[in-house]
C-alpha cells in the first residue's frame, strides 16, 4: 500500500513532506527532530491543531485510529493506567482477552494485577495485545523496545514478527535505531528534516548506504548494539 503524500504544514512551512510504500513492514528511521513523531501523529489524527496535514494514499481501508490503525508507544511503563486492573484495560469480553493473552504469551494470572506489578516485557506484551484487540490492518510502532533491556528487546521483536505472520497486519516501525528495525522490517525509508533521503530493501540499505546521513545512523546504531551485548 502506498502513502503517496504525507505533508504536514506549520506556519507556511512543510515540516514533513514524504511518501512511502508499505508492502509488509517498513522502518522509518531518522535522528531526533527528523519528523518521525509528527508522521505518527498525522496518521493517528493527533497533530497539534495549529498544523495542517495533506494525506493521499491508495490503502484499501480507511485509517481509523483504534480500529484499522493501532499504535504501540515507546514506553510501556506509562502506557497503561496504574490504578486499573489489567483485565479492565481491554474493551473485549474475557474470552477474547484470554485469546489475546495466548497470542502474546502471557499467563492469565496477570489479568488480575495492576500495571506496576508487571515487568517491562510483560507490560509491552499487554500493550501489544491491546493494540491487536481491534484486528488492525496497520500497526504503528514508535520505538517499542527503547525502554526495555537488550534481551527483552529481542524477545519482543521476535514476538511482533510472529504476530504479524499470524494476524497479517502491516507495520510501520519508527525509530532512530536501525539495528532493531533490521530485526523486524523488510523495507526502510531514511528521514532527515522531514524528507526521505534514501529508501529500499533493509538489507540493501544497511549493506550499501548511499547517503552520509544513513551511514552515520548505521554506525551509531550498530556500535551501540555491540557495546551493549
Ligand X SMILES: Nc1ncnc2c1ncn2[C@@H]1O[C@H](COP(=O)(O)OP(=O)(O)OP(=O)(O)O)[C@@H](O)[C@H]1O
Q: Name the segment binding ligand X (CB under 6 A); options: 28-36, 75-83, 100-108, 205-213.
A: 28-36
User: b vs e for 79-111, b when ≥16 Cβ sit within 10 Å of the residue's Cβ?
Assistant: bbeeeeebeebbeeeeeebeebbebbebeeebb
Helices (H), 25-69: 36-44
97: which residues sit within 8 A by CB, 6+ positions away?
A: 87, 90, 111, 129
Number of residues that bind ligand X (CB under 6 A): 12
| 94 touching ligand X, by CB under 6 A | no
| 76 touching ligand X, by CB under 6 A | no
Least CB distance to ligand X at residue 159 (A): 24
Cβ atoms of 108 and 98 closer than 8 Å: yes
Contact pick of 18, 36, 118, 218 for ligand X (by CB under 6 A): 36
Least CB distance to ligand X at residue 23 (A): 23
- Of 163, 162, 161, 102, give the one whose Cα is nearest residue 132: 163
Contact pick of 27, 30, 76, 156 for ligand X (by CB under 6 A): 30
Cβ atoms of 173 and 27 closer than 8 Å: yes
Contact pick of 3, 15, 97, 205 for ligand X (by CB under 6 A): 15
Least CB distance to ligand X at residue 223 (A): 18
The site for ligand X (CB under 6 A) is made up of 10, 15, 30, 32-38, 48, 176
Amino acid at each position: 500500500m502506498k502513502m503517496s503524500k504525507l505533508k504536514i504544514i506549520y506556519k507556511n512551512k512543510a515540516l514533513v513532506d514524504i511518501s512511502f510504500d508499505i508492502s509488509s513492514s517498513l522502518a522509518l528511521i531518522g535522528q531526533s527532530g527528523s519528523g518521525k513523531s509528527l508522521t505518527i501523529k498525522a496518521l493517528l489524527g493527533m497533530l497539534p491543531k495549529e498544523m495542517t496535514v495533506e494525506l493521499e494514499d491508495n490503502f484499501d481501508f480507511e485509517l481509523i485510529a483504534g480500529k484499522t490503525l493501532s499504535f504501540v508507544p515507546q514506553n510501556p511503563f506509562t502506557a497503561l493506567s496504574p490504578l486499573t486492573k489489567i483485565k479492565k484495560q481491554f474493551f473485549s469480553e474475557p474470552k477474547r482477552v484470554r485469546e489475546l493473552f495466548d497470542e502474546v504469551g502471557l499467563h492469565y494470572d496477570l489479568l488480575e494485577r495492576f500495571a506496576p506489578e508487571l515487568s517491562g516485557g510483560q507490560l509491552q506484551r499487554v500493550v501489544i495485545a491491546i493494540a491487536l484487540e481491534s484486528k488492525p490492518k496497520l500497526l504503528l510502532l514508535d520505538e517499542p523496545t527503547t525502554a526495555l533491556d537488550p534481551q527483552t528487546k529481542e524477545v519482543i521483536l521476535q514476538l511482533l514478527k510472529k504476530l504479524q505472520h499470524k494476524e497479517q497486519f502491516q507495520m510501520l516501525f519508527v525509530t532512530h535505531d536501525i539495528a532493531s528495525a533490521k530485526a523486524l522490517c523488510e523495507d526502510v525509508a531514511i528521514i532527515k528534516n522531514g524528507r526521505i533521503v534514501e529508501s529500499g530493501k533493509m538489507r540493501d540499505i544497511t549493506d550499501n548506504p548511499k547517503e552520509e546521513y544513513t551511514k552515520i545512523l548505521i554506525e551509531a546504531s550498530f556500535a551501540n548494539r555491540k557495546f551493549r551485548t
